Amino acid sequence: MGIRRDSPKNSPRKKTTLKHLFDLDPKPYVGSPLPSPRRGGGGTDYEHDGILSAISYCNSVFTFTDPQESPSQQDLKRLKLMDVVSLLKSPKKPLHEQLFSPLMSMVSVNLFRPLPPPSKTSIVSALPDDEELSTFTPLWPHLQLVYDILLRLVLNVDSKKLKDYIDHQFIRNLLYLFQSEDPRERENLKNVFHRIYSRFTSYRSFMRKAMNEVFLHYVFETEKHCGIGELLEIWGSIINGFGVPLKEEHKLFLMRVLLPLHKPKGLQVYHRQLAYCVSQFVQKEPALGGVVVRGILRYWPITNCHKEVLLIGELEELVENIDPDQYRTLALPLCSRITRCFNSCNSQVAERALYVWNNEQFVKMASEAMEEVFPVVVEGMERNLKLHWSKSVKQLTENVKAMLEEMDPPLYDKCLREIHHRESEAHREQIQRQQKWDQIETAAAKHSHFLQPTKTICVSSH
């Protein structure tokens, strides 16, 4: 999804003043010509010419990497951007409508640019909040002010007057910029995009679909995108405003977009925002808990221990909001997964899974299907006590075992007897197999001459 610079509609060409021409810098690129305001009073005309001159100068784009660029010109552009920000902050009088087109044109010229290729082979980071792992754009001294200008336009100007400039293509261009590696730019994008969603109500459906396309492209094609966390933060606020009962469209979004987002290897970067979105759905309709839990179990990682720890915590929080009527159906699959986790060779995964049994709601859910759950859990406990290498895991296992024994001592003893019976049966079968192999080897040894290769003598005719 590339960027097009045809979003703001350029106004027709008109004559410019001599002051405007003198203020233009001959070197940098200047965008489309800007209209002069209608002639009114002398003071107003002079003021508008100064504003248009500042806006026009800000159409020149600097890379901050070209040694031929003048630092003084860069500083001058920053000062003029600050003047425009001050104008938008002024509460004295509303912004003249003739300034909308040059302002939006200037914003588009500065923001909608090709992004550099990723600086790292993988955008995924185990420590997404560490600034040392982020790439900061050298354009930020100018971009920060341009984003401030756009945000103030969205907040202070009637949305109907901006619809000619903030259209579908403009929104797509903003979405493209969420791939920026600079976290400061993504944070400003998040604020602007969310404000557009709030104020431009007719665009809401389109904006939701456009964000969903980004998510699906990330999950099923690239698994590379820097702004998934910020987009999910926007969705978290949107979901918070959904009415109950939820629309079918929103439930499909949960099942087809949010749950598959648990699959990519970069989950740890945006898991906090994703878990919040999912929990919002379950809080609004607890009956969705079963769909969510089964969806998370479907995308459970096999070799990624960090993701396992995150998902165990998410499941624990979901259990507290699930409809209790679903406890019995979810108890066995959920406890089976938790049992496999506390049998994990990774001590962090095993300890996190064992701590789940401190959650009263989880224990209550397990108790709804004790006859089915206990055999699985008790077998996992005994395996940990015999085979696990970590002393801390064994100690936690002892604590959980004591708690489970108190819940239902006869059932726990019954499970232990069944385990011992299965182990003794397996040992007896192993002995029988070994005896049969011994008999086969003995018989083979008695008739070894049948198995030896025949000796042949080659006689040469020479």
Positive or negative, the CA dihedral 216, 219, 224, 225 is positive
Q: Is the pLDDT of residue 238 over 90?
A: yes
- Is 344 a residue whose pLDDT tops 90? yes
47's CB contacts (< 8 A; 6+ apart) are: none
- Residue among 29, 82, 95, 88 nearest 56 (CA): 29
Q: Which residues contact 251 (CB under 8 A, 6 or more apart)?
A: 281, 288
Judged against a pLDDT cut of 70, whether residue 346 lies above it is answered with yes
The sign one gets for the Cα dihedral 156, 148, 32, 76 is positive
| Contact partners, residue 224, CB within 8 Å, separation at least 6 | 118, 122, 123, 124, 218
pTM of the model: 0.82
Look at residue 21 and tell me whether its pLDDT is greater than 80.
no
Q: To the nearest whole number, what is the mean pLDDT of the chain?
A: 86
Tokens of 342: 């506390």
Alpha-helical segments (H) within 299-390: 305-319, 327-342, 347-355, 360-367, 370-387
Residue 402 to residue 412: CA distance in whole angstroms: 10
Share of the chain above pLDDT 70, in %: 83
Cα 349 to the center of its chain, rounded Å: 22
Q: How confident is the model at residue 20 (pLDDT cuts 50, 70, 90)?
A: very low
Query: Are 400 and 364 within 8 A, CB to CB?
Result: no
pLDDT of 195 reads 97
Q: Is the dihedral of CA 13, 19, 22, 28 positive or negative?
A: negative
Provide the pLDDT for residue 50: 82
pLDDT of 121 reads 44
In this prediction, residues 432-455 reach a mean pLDDT of 79
pLDDT score at 116: 87
Residue 308 has pLDDT above 90, yes or no: yes
Residue 41 has pLDDT above 50, yes or no: no
